[in-house]
Structure 1
Amino acid sequence: MTVKAKKHLGQHFLNDESVAQKIADTLSLQGYQNVLEIGPGMGVLTKYLVKKNITTYVIEIDPESVTYLKANYLNLAPRILEQDFLKYDLNTVFKNQPFAIIGNFPYNISSQIVFKALKMRNQIPEFSGMFQKEVAQRICSKEGSKIYGILSVLTQAFYEAEYLFTVPPNVFSPPPKVDSGVLRLTRKEDFSLPCDETLFFKVVKTGFQQRRKTLRNSLKTFNLSDNLKANSIFGKRPEQLSVQEFIKLTQLIAEDS
């Protein structure tokens, strides 16, 4: 049997073995015993993960794919989670233990997958996989770039982000309309923030909501003092600030309140 790709789930099945192996090999296997693959479909990537010296779990929302995997990956069957990754409490399985994330991520939820991983960063030392190329580039982009944004800053605050390689549409069934990009996120040795974390997230998100404006204008809702707004950092636009500068900005705002 084969599984029919479902549009509403954003499924595009990878059918190039060499690309699947390359993605599986992006994991360093350092600092964790478990790996979770998101959206395995018919297991083209899973096949290479189960050969590695780690314990592979897969999470799949599509019942047809789950049936296929259970029939073709008998040893994996107890670790196939028929769940929605975005809604499922992963500690039901991992019990606060570290684990890596990997996958050929459905384009329509790929940013949400990253945001959920960031919330669980204490447990996720490594994260790699395939996104729409533009999203992978955005996550890895640096300040000064037009595509640098919320996802770039929040991810790079905690992880080193590397864009690894591009994958053309013709290795998928059905082929997507755009190129895909594979990236790797490696958690920083010290991934604690030297500022209020909740405030940091709020400053970054609010700043980029009006990315063409200077921070003096886009952060008006914070009711900043005139004294603080005179600081030259507020004359910049959000995409001009590095992660470190966003941390500094958060510290300044915290001191001002």
Structure 2
Amino acid sequence: YFTVKSLFDVSKTCFKPIPKIDSTVIQLTPRSSPLFEVNEERFFKLINSAFWGRRKQLISALKKSPFISLKKGFESCDFFNKNKLVRGETLDLTSFYEMYKELETKQFFM
């Protein structure tokens, strides 16, 4: 929905109480149209499901999702064969879209 641009960093010493990390100021510019054509409900359920298990591998988190049926047949998915050990937090938006397309095509969404 937005184009994100990093503007500048802000030192942690600029805050009270001092946090453990520095911050970054970003600029959000609305897009005229979405980056990808998706079923928004399913796409966001996929992204939420990828983050259910803290520090879990993606396939483990998705197997527990009530929105996606990976009980049988996920081995046939090219995305998972190429990304066996990936975690949700390491994926960019394009990777989520590629995974979404394959799950949608193979009818894994419930």
**Pair 1:246 & 2:96 matched:** yes
* Residue of structure 1 in register with 2:29 after alignment: 186
* Residue of structure 1 in register with 2:7 after alignment: 164
Query: Aligned in 2, Cα 1:225/1:169: closer, same or farther, shift over 3 Å?
Result: closer
Instruction: Select the structure with the greater relative contact order (CA < 8 A; seq sep ≥ 6).
Output: 2
RMSD of the TM alignment (CA)? 2.6
Structure 1: 5+ residue stretches without partners: 1-157
Query: Aligned in 2, Cα 1:217/1:170: closer, same or farther, shift over 3 Å?
Result: closer
Say whether the 8 Å CA contact 1:211–1:239 is kept in structure 2: no
Post-superposition offset of 1:214: 2.7
For 1:211 and 1:185, the matched residues in 2 are separated by 27
Larger Cα Rg: Structure 1 or Structure 2?
Answer: 1
Q: Once the two structures are aligned, what percentage of the paired residues are identical?
A: 28
Structure 1 runs (4+) deviating above 4 angstroms are 169-172
The TM-score normalised by the length of structure 1 is 0.33
Matches within 5 A, 1:128-139: none
Say whether the 8 Å CA contact 1:212–1:237 is kept in structure 2: yes
Matches within 5 A, 1:1-257: 158-168=1-11, 175-178=16-19, 179-191=22-34, 193-220=36-63, 221=65, 222-224=68-70, 226-234=72-80, 235=84, 236-255=86-105, 256-257=107-108
For 2:73 and 2:8, the matched residues in 1 are separated by 46
**SS across alignment from 1:181:** strand
For 2:57 and 2:87, the matched residues in 1 are separated by 4
**Count, aligned residues:** 98
Structure 2: 5+ residue stretches without partners: none
For 2:51 and 2:61, the matched residues in 1 are separated by 8
Post-superposition offset of 1:226: 3.0
The TM-score normalised by the length of structure 2 is 0.67
